[in-house]
Amino acid sequence: MRFMVLVKANEDSEAGIFPDEKILAEMGKFNEELVKAGVMLAAEGLHPSSKGARVKFEGSKRTVMDGPFAETKELIAGFWLWQVKSKEEAIEWLKRAPFDGGTEIELRQVFEADDFGANLTPELRKLEERLRAKIEAK
Amino acid sequence: MTTSETHRVIDAVWRIESARLIAGLARLVRDLGLAEELAQDALVAALERWPEAGVPENPGAWLMATAKHRAIDLLRHNKLLERKHEELGRELEAQERTMPDFNASLDDQIGDDLLRLVFTACHPALSTEARAALTLRLLGGLTTDEIARAFLVPEPTVAQRIVRAKRTLSEARVPFEVPCGTELAKRLSSVLEVIYLIFNEGYSATKGEEWIRPSLCEEALRLGRIVAELMPNEPEVHGLVGLMEIQASRLRARVGPTGEPILLLDQNRARWDWLLIRRGLAALERAEKLGGALGPYALQAAIAACHARAHTPEETDWERIAALYDGLAQLAPSPVVELNRAVALAMAFGPATGLELVDELMSEPSLRNYHLLPSVRGDLLSKLNRMDEAREEFERAASLARNARERELLLERARACGR
């Protein structure tokens, strides 16, 4: 199964200030461990929200709001995507990450085909089949 | 934390730590079987103590220290203690004093130990099944039960296989080491073969009702990714990883809603896993950048990449695929490769060209019971509008297919040829 590990923003990350060399080195080592263990699928860090934007949907109306956004702690600063065998394995890996100072890191399981397999109702299955037939006909 | 919660944590810790633990112990005691027993003892100790005492802060180091103590005890109390063992015991104790934190020891050492573990578990003295079971157990950290379920064989069979494999290694006095020189290339291909065998058993199950078993593919991919980091300068390791990543990217798309197989060209490409494709292409690039002619796995990865790069089936570069198969046929000639080359030729230059090559393969003894030969021939014949012959071939293919889902698909194609 796959887990996404979500790293939240803080004042520094929103200000575009990079962590110091020591933390970067520790993080680099941790990332290396993940790669060596065959766990790491992807890892990305995000620019501050000042470089981002939001689009609001209301009926047919689309409103674009440029960053930065105020609620710093709700913002995402980066993520990992891990391939593991269980939630516990993901947690064990996360516990080894070099965070400190009360940082909270969230991990969330990624939906995969299998998750739908048994739950897919006959109606949904038919819909999917029709969809597939349509795509094939193209 | 309840006992069962702690047990799940221990499972996870075992998954992460067991290979390093066994590899490190095997270097110390110079016996893979004994090393695994010691590691298992440490696991049992964790199962006994952690539910009450809590999970230690550095669980890997705890397991290693416990296993080492067991090793020392075992050697001390062994009445048949040989001088050699005494020396070993002293060596262990000395290491215990100088190196209390296993995790603090050099990363290089761990890498070397793991590499020794890989090569020993995949030693040619063992049967392919034994190598696969031992690799999943020692490097993958899977339990005997998990391996048995993965390969759809009874658990005692796998347990026996592993016991015998360890005995064989010990009797043949297989040294716990990484082969060097010319031996390395040969032994590496044995390692890659085992990983790809595990992958294929998941990707195209030869037994049972299920057509694919993704968890087995994931295990193989994990093993491949680990070995790729252990041997970053071996292009074929990256070739194999690239091949597996790209093939695995199609797992979701190659099974229909009722579990039936969907052929590559009929797949909904939006359902391919583009993250794995990107990883696969990157692995192939790593193999290419290391220079030299592409090996068999890298060539197959390059073929898979041709499909992955095509956003629609019509965009597929069949001429390049035919050329790559030509290269593969020269490097690793086999009737199965020829059959694939025939398919590529048919797609690039028309079904008649492909059929010519397929007809040549009809007398090939090793393909006599291979269901894909009549399946491909049936496909080409139907494209040439020779429906009666095509139907016969599909029926023959169905009678040879071992997988239930595949058989259904072939019978359906036979029916589609009409009467």
pLDDT tens-digit readout, B153-198: 899 999 999 999 999 998 998 888 899 888 898 899 999 999 999 9
Q: In 3-state terms, what secondary structure has residue B6?
A: helix
User: Which residues in B lie closer than 8 A to residue A36 (C-beta atoms)?
Assistant: 111, 226, 229-230
CB contact under 8 A, B268 and A135: yes
**Average pLDDT of the residues of chain B:** 89
User: Which residues in A lie closer than 8 A to residue B50 (C-beta atoms)?
Assistant: none
Contacts of B261 (CB under 8 A, 6+ apart): B211, B254, B255, B405, B406, B409
Helix ranges, B290-371 (H): 296-309, 318-331, 335-349, 351-361
| Cis before A68? omega within 30 | yes
Residues B302-341 have pLDDT tens digits of: 999 999 999 999 999 999 999 999 999 999 999 989 999 9
Instruction: Catalogue all structural domains in chain A, each as residue range(s) with its CATH number.
Output: 2-112 (3.30.70.1060)
What residues of chain B, 251 to 270, have a C-beta less than 8 Å from chain A? 251-252, 255-258, 266, 268, 270
What pLDDT does residue B100 have?
44
Measured between CA atoms, how close is A136 to chain B, in angstroms? 7
Q: Would the pLDDT of B258 be above 90?
A: no
CB contact under 8 A, A113 and B257: no
Q: How far apart are CA B251 and CA B212, in angstroms?
A: 8
Residues B397-407 have pLDDT tens digits of: 999 988 788 88
Measured between CA atoms, how close is A113 to chain B, in angstroms? 6
Residues A61-110 have pLDDT tens digits of: 999 999 899 888 889 999 999 999 999 999 999 999 999 989 999 999 99
Helix (H) or strand (E) holding B20, with range, is helix B3-29
